[in-house]
């Protein structure tokens, strides 16, 4: 298999995986901040 | 919502894994491009999803301008974010392919150039969002900008019809000649990428709603303190 195919596959997995992880992290950070604010009230 | 999210994620991973295996190992090589045609099974779905994201983004931006419902602004921003990410992978995977097929990563082909303009227009969209503080004004201004920047989408899509281009086309003379197995590999890859896109889009929208909720709580706190 040509190296270009592997590069494009790695790029796709990195972009989709990276975005998903970032969304997970951002989502859980926001959940934490929201529950802190709600508890404060 | 959570269960449906997991279904999209599970299906997306299974279909994508099968599609990638099918495209890389089972589908035959193309007559002219040889093994390099396999890049196409990954590149085309990314380009389709980039366009699809931006279509969703502009439709929801117009709906926001008409109805002034913040949920449409949230949908529009989430879709634009995905358009930006898939646009970046389309540009990079396209230039990897261009280097192998044409000998250079970038040669200012109309398809490459107009897609880069599209991508930069949507980078501008996020800079615009960051520069406006008032949430209502931010939503209105960025929705109007979104409608204008969407003009780059048909420009990119039709570029190889409007100007002479080296970019391969399906089913045309001198273009890619795909047999039925290759078409199946392509369709399966599009389906897999679409399922993954649906999951990420729902996730991005959920995160955006949480951000709105936090902003609302903070502004209420500030109002109570003053």
Note the pLDDT of residue B156: 93
Question: For residue B205, what are the contacts with CB-CB under 8 A and spacing of at least 6?
Answer: B74, B75, B78
Note the pLDDT of residue B165: 75
Mean pLDDT score, B200-212 = 95
ipTM over 0.85: yes
- Whether A28 and chain B come into contact, CB under 8 Å, resolves to no
Q: How confident is the model at residue B225 (pLDDT cuts 50, 70, 90)?
A: confident
C-alpha angle B36-B40-B45 in degrees, rounded to nearest 5: 160
| Structure-block tokens of residue B190 | 């599009």
The pLDDT tens digits for B43-62 are 999 999 999 999 999 999 99
Say yes or no for a CB contact (<8 Å) between B214 and A27.
no
- Whether A34 and chain B come into contact, CB under 8 Å, resolves to yes
The pLDDT tens digits for B149-161 are 999 999 999 988 8
The pLDDT tens digits for A1-41 are 789 999 999 999 999 999 999 999 999 999 999 999 888 87
Residues of chain A positioned with their CB less than 8 A from the CB of B96: 4, 7-8, 11
Residue B74 has pLDDT above 60, yes or no: yes
Beta bridge mates, B34: B30
Note the pLDDT of residue B172: 56
Residue B174 has pLDDT above 70, yes or no: no
Note the pLDDT of residue B79: 98
Question: What is the least distance, in Å, from the CA of A33 to any CA of chain B?
Answer: 7
Note the pLDDT of residue B2: 67
Q: Which residue among B100, B200, B204 sits closest to A4, beta carbon to beta carbon?
A: B100
- Whether A11 and chain B come into contact, CB under 8 Å, resolves to yes
The pLDDT tens digits for B177-191 are 677 888 899 999 999
Residue B173 has pLDDT above 60, yes or no: no
Note the pLDDT of residue B179: 78
- Whether B100 and chain A come into contact, CB under 8 Å, resolves to yes
Residue B175 has pLDDT above 60, yes or no: no
The pLDDT tens digits for B98-124 are 999 888 999 899 999 999 999 999 999
- Taking the alpha carbons at both ends of chain B, their separation in whole angstroms is 38
The pLDDT tens digits for B126-157 are 999 999 989 899 999 999 999 999 999 999 99
Note the pLDDT of residue B102: 86
CA distance B100 to B120: 25
Residue B217 has pLDDT above 60, yes or no: yes
């Amino acid at each position: 298999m040509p190296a270009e195919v592997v590069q494009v596959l790695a790029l796709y997995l990195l972009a989709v995986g990276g975005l998903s992880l970032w969304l997970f992290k951002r989502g859980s950070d926001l959940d934490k901040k929201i529950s802190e604010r709600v508890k404060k009230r | 919502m959570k269960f449906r999210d997991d279904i999209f994620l599970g299906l997306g991973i299974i279909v994508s894994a099968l599609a990638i295996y099918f495209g890389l190992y089972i589908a035959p090589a193309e007559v002219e491009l040889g093994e390099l045609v396999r890049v196409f099974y990954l590149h085309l779905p990314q380009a389709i999803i980039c366009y699809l994201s931006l279509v969703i983004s502009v439709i929801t931006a117009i709906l926001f301008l008409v109805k002034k419902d913040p949920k449409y602004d949230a949908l529009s921003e989430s879709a634009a974010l995905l358009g930006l990410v898939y646009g970046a992978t389309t540009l990079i995977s396209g230039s990897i392919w261009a280097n192998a097929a044409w000998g250079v990563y970038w040669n200012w082909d109309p398809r490459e150039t107009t897609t880069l303009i599209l991508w930069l227009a949507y980078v501008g969209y996020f800079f615009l969002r960051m520069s406006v503080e008032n949430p209502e004004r931010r939503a209105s201004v960025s929705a109007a900008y979104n409608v204008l920047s969407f003009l780059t989408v048909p420009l990119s899509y039709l570029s190889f019809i409007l100007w002479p281009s080296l970019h391969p086309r399906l089913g045309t003379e001198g273009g890619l000649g795909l047999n039925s197995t290759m078409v199946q590999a392509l369709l399966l890859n599009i389906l897999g990428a679409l399922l993954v896109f649906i999951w990420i889009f729902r996730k991005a929208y959920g995160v955006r709603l949480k951000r709105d909720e936090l902003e609302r709580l903070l502004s209420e706190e500030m109002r109570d303190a003053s």
